[in-house]
Amino acid sequence: MDNVKELRQVYDILTAAWRVYKEHYPPGNPQDDTYWSKLIDDLHEIELQYNCQLCRDILCNITSDLERKAKVLYQSK
């Protein structure tokens, strides 16, 4: 893969990750199965599209971040 093509793919992965993060922010209640199922479905769709380790790492980090924020947000309520 040439540099331009690889950088374009990284840009596309980051853009897709940003869009799904923005769509699911602020995080839902940790007990809200509908919220988390939709998030996982959206992330899985991106992972299928790009199918690379960088993509999986970024998507795992998004899930972790939203989960951590959800726990903090809903413990304080």
Tens digits of per-residue pLDDT, 8-47?
999 999 999 999 999 999 999 999 999 999 999 999 999 9
Cβ–Cβ under 8 Å, residues 27 and 70: yes
pLDDT over 70 at 71, yes or no: yes
As a whole number of angstroms, the distance between CA 56 and CA 62 comes to 10
Question: Are 49 and 30 contacting, i.e. CB atoms less than 8 angstroms apart?
Answer: no
Does the pLDDT value for residue 76 go beyond 80?
A: no
Per-residue pLDDT averaged across 52-72, rounded? 97
Question: Residue holding tokens 């940003």?
Answer: 18
